[in-house]
Chains A and B, each alone.
Chain A
Amino acid sequence: MSTAEQSNQSQGQKRISTDLTENADYCKQVMGNSNDLMIRPLQCLHKWPSVLLYIDGMVDVQIINHSILESLLQTRELPEFSADDEHLIYLQNDVLAASNVILIDKMKDVLDALLAGFAVVLLEGSNRGLKISAAGWEDRAVGEPISQTVVRGPMEGFNENLRTNTGLIRKRIRDPHLWIEEREIGRVSNTRVAVVYLEHIVDQEVVKELRSRLDRIDIDAILESGYIEELVQDKTGTIFPTIYNSERPDAVCAALLEGRVAIIIDGTPFVLLVPALFVHFFQSPEDYYQRADISTLIRMIRYLAFFIALLAPSFYIAITTFHQEMLPTNLLISLAAQREGVPFPAFIEAILMELTYEILREAGIRIPKTVGQAVSIVGTLVIGQAAVDAGVVSAAMVIIVSITAISSYVIPENGLSISVRILRFVLMILAAAFGFYGILMVLLITVTHLCSLRSFGVSYMSPFAPYIGKDLKDTIFRVPWTRMKTRPLSTGTPNETRQTNKKTKR
């Protein structure tokens, strides 16, 4: 048993002492005399010796000054008190001008309250204390989402504060059935995690499953939603994301209304959504804000881009090294002309270029913004011109790599484009070894694997496999809202009707 756990246990048993200095010393000792722990001795209502504790940086100084100190330091006529605790209850009910004042009696509660941004008041001679909510740490303002941008639609994105995030959702769904369950996960970090769902729409089985999976987590810290995502997903041995994440309140609300469950984690703007289907990764919130016909067209382009990003290099390799007879004669000759003088086989050439691209991509993300331009210029020169002129790669290969790279950004959710990148390399190797036969093999295995995946009990490939005809309305197509009468059945919602079937007269 570690010392941390030992101290945890002793804290759990230790009650608040009636001696003020002992309490203060205990706090100091447990927190290693950290200098952000503020201990402010004061004469409460100018009569009772007391101490105010808080952690600087986690509380709003305005609240401490105006609500707590001002009310504690006033002078007023006092009624008679018989028992010790009545002092505290009098403070709680009649003196403190704060919204949330709670009685606590254990030293562990004191420490937890301090670490959660509460202020604690302890009175001499009382073995209980008061915790007063005064949390106020620095937060990023609600701003535009960065990873999921739209042309039309709300420009609000989640921020790192859990309460702000739940507020953003409540703002959009003003319904008492929107339930928020909160829990703390992480032995050390004690991260707040909220499970949000619409109680009358969600499939209760999914919520139950999610609860039990969250409760099973025993990890020392949750620093980002990625931790939770990995810990609760159905299968870890897959390259496909089975949990959707979004930075956009409108996307999360839409998902809630489809009967899905959102998991909000304190400290990250990325909200997880379960169950997630394969088709979800091709949907952008914008699809629902613009006309159905254009959305359908754009979705088809996304699927096309998905296949291009997945297959373009391997197709090129397979065709140019195995199936030359499939090319039109003129194209074959022109490709052959470009390949003249290139010393590598097509596969090596493709791997070289794809690796160069991946390196540039990674560098582009990690590099400080101020030198970013240098990398992009070098990248363009290296990939675009110099490599061809130097005869290291053929011009056609540059086209293939560029179209692949651009296509992989069309997929709205980053998780899936990572899967595509991994699969692309597998496909390239197999294409180099076996041609189209290898490509077909990988695709077959991939489809089989995709069909075997589940996200919280829901088949990942639904509504295609298993086939749910009614759900096809929002897959490759997005039918007009007037036709979207039912919620997606694949989420298992008991509440199918989204619109009444009455025809509106126009």
Chain B
Amino acid sequence: MNKWLQLILSFAVLLPLLTGCWDRQELNELGIMLGLGVDKDGDLIRVSAQVVVPNEVSSKSGGGKGTPVTQYQASAPTLFEAIQKLTESSPRRIFMAHIRVMVIGEEYARKVGIYDITEALMREPTVRPDYYVMVARNTTASKVLDVLTPLENLPAEKMFNSLDVSSKIWSPTTTVTGDQLMEYMLAPGIQPVITGVEIVGDSQHSGSKDNISTIRSPARLHSTGLSVFKKDKLIGWLTEDESKGYNYIRNNVVSTISHLPCQKEGYVTFKTLRTNTKRKAKVVAGRPLINIKIKNVSSIGAVECGIKIGSMKTLKELERDSEERLVDLMEESVKSVQRKFHVDIFGFGREVYHSDPKFFKKVEKDWDEYLENLDVHYDVNVQIKRVGTLDDSFRNELKE
């Protein structure tokens, strides 16, 4: 008995010292925040929280009366003050572990910069940094979080999933998670890039059930283009083609669809099955040189013109054309960034740093100048492995 008493006593003493996740909170006391929006509100920061209304998403009959999520807003000088202040309007404590998307208002990103919120969220232990970061293009984060979406009834979940899916099968978009963002902000020789999200259509009733009661929602969320950051401030946007080129260079492309014009008329569509980019930097006589090598395996999706894809010669030609197009894409992207933004979003500096750290340390301060005249060498290898279930196009055999 004495032994047991000792045991129990020692546990009683040790337990309070060793606890990690101490807070006991019942599920129905939590306001689960899925989307976090940050906007500028005068000198303050305005936080918009998209919080789930569990009753409405429940599979049981009770749902369907109101919206699946609700939005609370609060403004305060700092992020956490504002989040805590949300409880002024929210009946439950805001639970931040399950943030899916963080939307930053464009104005906030341009004028205040994203450093403060990144720092705060990375420091907070309850927040898991696997949320996607987006910039609300031409609008505020709170408006973006205000749009009800069909199919996926939690808007934040919709934004997460649609970005996730499109980054995998469509080259102009990419995902940036919270921890990646911090890494890009910190790592030498690379600047962050964040996908933008915008509202298209009529946003008048975006937050009401009207928005999902018609086949075509009046207001829709649309992830579009990439925003370029210098340090922690937004300085501009890439076009769709520039974004594609960026993603090819950064090896973000998993698979995508692209097209080439035929010699006469129409297009040939390519499906990229897999593609892999390798970046290598070399310093030759004090001049950094970047080598980009892409290996791309494609198949043919559709042929609108009457070329004979059954022949090896045509395929080789198509491969060559496609290689040229890829080089063009990347060149355009690099040139436009060099011309317009003067920041190294491609991580070329990082490659130089990896291959010759001493040299990079010397030029780090003036790296943006080096970037402007940087020699980039492209080496693209496209292989067409499959042509689909048809051989030659049957356009020529169409009956008149």
Q: What residues make up the interface of A, taking CB atoms closer than 8 Å to B? A: 320-325, 329-330, 332-342, 345-346, 432, 434-437, 441, 445
Contacts and interface: CB of A to CB of B under 8 A. Distances in A.
B21 A436 contact: yes
Interface in B325-375: none
A322 B237 CA distance: 42
B23 A322 contact: yes
Given A325-B97, A334-B58, 5 more contacts: A333-B32, A333-B54, A333-B154, A338-B60, A341-B28
A1 to B, nearest CB: 34
Interface of B is mostly: loop
Contacts of A437: 15, 18-21
Interface of A is mostly: helix
Interface residues of B, number: 33
Contact of A339 (B22, B26, B34, B57): B26
Interface in B2-48: 7, 11, 15, 18-28, 30, 32, 34
Contact of A333 (B11, B19, B52, B126): B52
Interface of B: 7, 11, 15, 18-28, 30, 32, 34, 52, 54-55, 57-60, 62, 95, 97-98, 100, 126, 128, 154, 157
Contacts of A337: 54-55, 57-60
22 contacts: A320-B26, A320-B27, A321-B24, A321-B26, A322-B21, A322-B23, A329-B98, A332-B27, A333-B32, A333-B154, A336-B28, A336-B54, A337-B54, A337-B55, A337-B57, A339-B54, A340-B54, A341-B55, A434-B15, A434-B19, A437-B19, A445-B7
A340 B28 contact: yes
Nearest to B160: A329
The 9 A-B residue pairs with the shortest CB-CB distance, nearest first, are: A325-B97, A337-B58, A337-B54, A336-B54, A339-B27, A339-B28, A336-B27, A329-B98, A340-B54
Contacts of A330: 157
A325 B25 CA distance: 12
Contacts of A332: 27, 32, 98
A199 B250 CA distance: 76
A325 B59 contact: no
Nearest to B154: A333
Nearest to A327: B98
Find the residue from A340, A346, A445 having the highest chain B CB count within 10 A. A340
A346 B28 CA distance: 10
Given A334-B57, A337-B54, A324 B30 contact: yes
Find the residue from B11, B18, B21, B55 having the highest chain A CB count within 10 A. B21
A324 B95 contact: yes
A323 B21 contact: yes
A323 B52 CA distance: 18
Contacts of A339: 26-28, 54
A337 B56 CA distance: 8
Contacts of A341: 28, 55
A339 B19 CA distance: 26
A336 B32 contact: yes
B59 to A, nearest CB: 7
Nearest to B34: A329
Find the residue from B24, B27, B57, B60 having the highest chain A CB count within 10 A. B27
A335 B157 CA distance: 16
A370 B316 CA distance: 83
B70 to A, nearest CB: 13
A333 B57 contact: yes
Nearest to A323: B21
B24 A338 contact: no
A339 B32 CA distance: 13
Contacts of A441: 11, 15
A334 B32 contact: no
Contacts of A346: 26-27
A50 to B, nearest CB: 63
Contacts of B52: 333, 336
A325 B126 contact: yes
Nearest to A344: B26
Nearest to B28: A339
Find the residue from A321, A337, A338, A437 having the highest chain B CB count within 10 A. A337
B90 to A, nearest CB: 15
A222 to B, nearest CB: 29
A502 B26 CA distance: 64
B6 to A, nearest CB: 13
A375 to B, nearest CB: 28
A11 to B, nearest CB: 44
Contact of A325 (B26, B27, B98, B154): B98
A322 B28 CA distance: 13
A422 to B, nearest CB: 16
Find the residue from A322, A324, A336, A435 having the highest chain B CB count within 10 A. A336
Contacts of B30: 324, 336
B128 A325 contact: yes
A342 B28 contact: yes
Find the residue from A320, A324, A339, A434 having the highest chain B CB count within 10 A. A324
B55 to A, nearest CB: 5
Contact of B21 (A329, A334, A335, A435): A435
B27 A335 contact: yes
A319 B56 CA distance: 23
Given A325-B97, A329-B100, A340 B26 contact: no
Nearest to B31: A336
A431 to B, nearest CB: 10
Given A322-B21, A339-B26, A334 B98 contact: no
A125 B97 CA distance: 99
Given A325-B97, A329-B98, A441-B11, A435 B54 contact: no
Contacts of B98: 324-325, 329, 332
Nearest to B68: A333
A158 B271 CA distance: 72
B155 to A, nearest CB: 13
Contacts of A336: 27-28, 30, 32, 52, 54
Contacts of A323: 21
A441 B10 CA distance: 12
Given A333-B32, A333-B54, A337-B54, A324 B59 contact: no
A324 B11 contact: no
A346 B25 CA distance: 10
A236 to B, nearest CB: 13
B58 A338 contact: yes
Contacts of B128: 325
A432 B22 CA distance: 11
Contacts of A445: 7
Contact of A329 (B20, B25, B26, B157): B157
A338 B62 CA distance: 11
A504 B97 CA distance: 63
Nearest to B126: A325
A429 to B, nearest CB: 13
A438 to B, nearest CB: 8
Nearest to A322: B21
A434 B18 CA distance: 10
A79 B15 CA distance: 92
B58 A340 contact: yes
Nearest to A326: B97
Contacts of A436: 21
Given A333-B52, A334-B57, A324 B27 contact: yes
